[in-house]
């Protein structure tokens, strides 16, 4: 498998926000690429690792929650990720996946699937056939995108309890700039708000 990094931290956003977690970041993504992506280094910085070596590294970290992210993790579902998924579950780990929803998302009842649909040049880049396999939808937001987020949620009949909104910002300053408007947007619409704790704390530092 193509692995960008494996590290221990706190989940910075979404339904597991603040939860101690092991991150397995897979390499590679799918065009069109998100212009505000803060993990572009995962596109072409990776090491080819055997499943057994990934497991060995994970087991050196004292945590049972694992976030599998990218890049786009489900690009590798048929080339090693299925095996890794099954072995991690056998060892008692709890799994959360972070996906863009641009590629097929498997039907997984034994993991939490969090999707961040990408809004690029006025279009949602998302495969609607994935809707039934996604547990949580997570949107980066600023005032200019609020109406488009509502339109996506309404069109796809997504329950509000499954929606998390976070202020856009690859830096602490940018996130704080958008935080008040996102707070009021979530309050008015009945969505859940999540910060991006890693950005607030470390201001764009990698591997945290």
Q: Per residue of the chain (208 residues), give pLDDT as tens.
A: 999 999 999 999 999 999 999 999 999 988 877 777 777 778 888 999 999 999 999 999 999 999 999 989 999 999 999 999 999 999 999 999 999 999 999 999 999 999 999 988 888 999 999 999 999 999 999 999 999 999 999 999 999 999 999 999 989 999 999 999 999 999 999 999 999 999 999 987 877 8
The answer to whether residues 149 and 164 touch, using CB atoms and an 8 Å cutoff, is no
Q: Alpha-carbon distance 10 to 176, whole Å?
A: 20
**Helices (H), ranges, 7-125:** 51-58, 82-90
Tell me 119's DSSP state.
Answer: E
CATH class of 2-202: alpha beta
Give the pair of three-digit tokens for residue 177: 């700039």
Q: Cis bond leading into 22, ω under 30°?
A: no
CB 113 within 8 A of CB 105: yes
Is 132 exposed, middle or buried (CB count within 10 Å of its CB: 0-12, 13-18, 19+)?
Answer: exposed
Contact predicate 170/204, CB 8 Å: yes
Q: 67-93 pLDDT, tens per residue?
A: 999 989 999 999 999 999 999 999 999
Taking the complete model, does pTM exceed 0.85, yes or no?
yes
């Amino acid at each position: 498998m193509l692995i960008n990094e494996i590290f221990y931290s706190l989940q910075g956003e979404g339904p597991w926000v603040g939860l101690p977690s092991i991150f397995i970041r897979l390499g590679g993504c799918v065009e069109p690429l998100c212009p505000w992506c803060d993990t572009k280094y995962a596109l072409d910085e990776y090491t080819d690792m055997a499943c057994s070596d990934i497991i060995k590294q994970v087991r050196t970290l004292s945590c049972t929650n694992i976030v599998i992210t990218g890049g786009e993790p489900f690009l590798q579902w048929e080339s090693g990720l299925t095996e890794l998924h099954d072995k991690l579950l056998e060892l008692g780990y709890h799994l959360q996946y972070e996906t863009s929803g641009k590629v097929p998302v498997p039907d997984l009842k034994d993991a939490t699937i969090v999707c961040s649909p990408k809004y690029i040049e006025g279009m949602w880049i998302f495969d609607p056939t994935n809707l039934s396999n996604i547990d949580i939808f997570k949107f980066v937001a600023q005032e200019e995108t609020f109406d488009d987020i509502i339109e996506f949620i309404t069109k796809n009949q997504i329950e509000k309890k499954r929606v998390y909104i976070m202020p856009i910002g690859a830096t602490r300053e940018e996130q704080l700039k958008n935080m008040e408007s996102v707070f009021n947007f979530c309050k008015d619409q009945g969505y859940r708000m999540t910060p991006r704790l890693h950005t607030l704390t470390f201001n764009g530092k990698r591997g945290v």
